[in-house]
Each structure stands twice: as structure tokens, then as C-alpha cells.
Amino acid sequence: MNTRGVSQDERAGVVIELSAAIVAVTDEAPKILLVRSQDTARASLPFGLFDPTGHRTLEEGLRRWVEEQTALHLGYVEQLYTFGDKFRDPQERAGGPRPVSVGYLALVRQTAVKDTVETSWGDWYRYFPWEDWRDGAPKIIDSLIAPHLTTWVDAATSKPDRSRRRERVNLVFSFGGGAWDNERVLDRYELLYEAGLVFEASFDAGHEPERELTTLQMHTGAVLTKDHRRILATAMGRLRAKIKYRPLIFEVMAPTFTLFQLQRAVEALSGGRLHKQNFRRLVAHEGLVEPTGHISGQTGGRPAELFRFRREVVHERPAPGARRPRSGKGQ
């Protein structure tokens, strides 16, 4: 299967890629759709080349690639960012064209995808284990990340540089008592990259990845091909921000759901626990849902009332979303 559309014999210039971070929530786990081709040992986000003659728009091209690779029809899609760092693709290092990737965020309800070993759903916290605060501060922060970042700060060659590094570390990882900002996913990844604590730092420096992978890098998240983990970090931060003021959470919910299921989905994406009663008061205050008149008996406990998204809310107020109730540092 030629999933990438790389049929040109180009040795210079620029090609445009279209990459998709496709997110779902299943069984309280935030899932990301991944593909794997025969030409790479690592999984990637679905992506392919933009065809300026065959694709009317960039988004149309993205939807076509995703459907071809996964048999999935996308609903909600928004453009994230354009990624064009030099040597982000090993083919460029070998003399090929420089790929510039237009990244997208897509939200779906998890469903069956193309029936091949090349397509699968994966938990996004497998790639960013320091981002999941639902059970308190992740152990990896105190046991691994904090001491190595301290070493990185101390290794700065000048006092001003050490001060800048320390300030940055304290800001994005909330060391020194600051509040954890769950939207700074990309900032934290970029910091770990600069400090050499993630796999991609060795790869981009031109080292043989499998030989240069350190014990530390083996514990700082699974690796995606190229810079797709950076694209995913961008998508995570964007989604965590937007669910606070847009009803995007309902793009990943079933047509009917219990309030507990809705809360768990918000927690899965935001990476922190919410106060049950505060969350329910917020949902009621914002007018986000309405009762269906039916009861779910598949809750594992007492039967619970089923609700559905109240679509009229998007016309009633400018920023409806699950933005206020918080519990714990992971918010």
C-alpha cells in the first residue's frame, strides 16, 4: 500500500504533507488513530501528500488520505499548525525534497477502521506519560524528569542562561509550587526535546536512533515517526484549551450518555479529575445537555439517567464548554 503518495523522483524543493491527529475517547482512555506502513518501523499519524491538481482544498486532501488509509469518514476537523523544520523527514536528509506538513485535529467516536495490521487506536498518554494527572502527579516527573532537568539547568554555560532555563522549567512543569497548566503540552515536549530527554532529539541530531536511544529516552514516551509526536502534542494542547469554551467534547461522545460518562471523557482528555457536583452544576448552568427520558442499566452500579447534547446551546451563548470545575493539580 502506497500510503504516503511518494512516487516522485524529486531531489530538491518542497512537498506539502497533510497530517491528522484523530482523537476518540473509549473506556475513559483518550485514543489516537495510528497507521504503520511497510517502509517504517514506527507508527505514525495518518498522512499523505497534497495533490494540487487532484485536491480542491488541503482539508479535502486530508479527508481523502484518511479515508484511503483507514476507511474512516471524518466529522469535525480543524487546522492546527504548519510543521516545516529542516530534516523532519529522513528522506530529506538523504537528498529528497523538504516536506512541510499541515497538521489537523479531528474528533470522532471510536469505530472500526480498515481491517489491516497497519491501522490501530492507541492511548495518547503512551506518548506523553507525564501528562496524565488523573491519579495524581505522574511518578515519571519526580523520578526521572525533574532530576534530569535539574542537571540540564546546571549544565548551562552562563548564569543568565541557567536562570532562563530554570525559569522555563518551573513554568512548564510547575516546579517550585506553580499551578500545572494542562494546555502546555507542546511546551513540555519541546523542553524535553531541547534537554535531550526524548528520542527525537538524538534522531534530529543525526545519530543512529536505535543505537543512540538512551535508557532515559526509553521511558519518556513511545515514539512516532518523523515529528508526529510534536504534531500530536500540538493537537492535545489545542483540544484541552478548546473543550473549556466550545462543546467539542460531544464530538467524541455517543448520541446518549450518562453524566458520569461525560465527566470521565472530559477528564480523559484534560488529564485531571473534576469535582463531581461542580461538574454537574456547570453542565446544568451552561445548558449543554438535556435528558432523554431513558435510563441506562449498564453503568456497573445503580441505573443512571441518559442525556444527549443540546445543540441549541451553540446559538444561545458564544462560548459554551466544560471550563470551570477543577479538582487537583492536573487541571
According to the model, what pLDDT value does residue 14 have?
86
Strand residue runs (E) in the chain: 14-26, 29-35, 47-49, 76-83, 98-107, 119-123, 289-296, 304-309
Contact 204, 17 (CB under 8 A): no
In terms of domains, do 20 and 111 share one?
Answer: yes
Q: What is the pLDDT of residues 192-245, one digit of tens each?
A: 999 989 988 877 666 655 554 566 677 899 989 888 999 999 999 999 999 998
Give the residue from 90, 125, 160 where a domain finishes.
125
pTM of the model: 0.87
* The pLDDT value given to residue 159: 96
| Owning domain of residue 89 | 14-125
Q: Would you state the pLDDT for residue 4?
A: 46
Q: What is the pLDDT of residues 155-188, one digit of tens each?
A: 999 999 999 999 999 999 999 888 899 999 999 9
In a shared domain, residues 291 and 307: yes
What's the CATH code of the domain at 282? 1.10.10.10
Cβ proximity of 227 and 87 under 8 Å = no
**Same domain as 276, residue 188:** no
- Claim to verify: residue 153 and residue 195 sit in the same structural domain: yes
Please report the sign of the dihedral spanned by the C-alpha atoms of residue 106, residue 184, residue 103, residue 227: negative
- Listed residue (209, 186, 211) closest to 199, CA to CA: 209
Are 101 and 18 found together in one domain? yes
Q: With the C-alpha atoms ordered 289, 292, 293, 296, is the resulting torsion angle positive or negative?
A: negative
- Domain final residue pick, 107, 125, 143: 125
Residues 18 and 109 occupy one common structural domain? yes
Q: Strand 14-26 and strand 29-35: pairing? A: antiparallel
* Structure confidence at residue 326 (pLDDT): 47
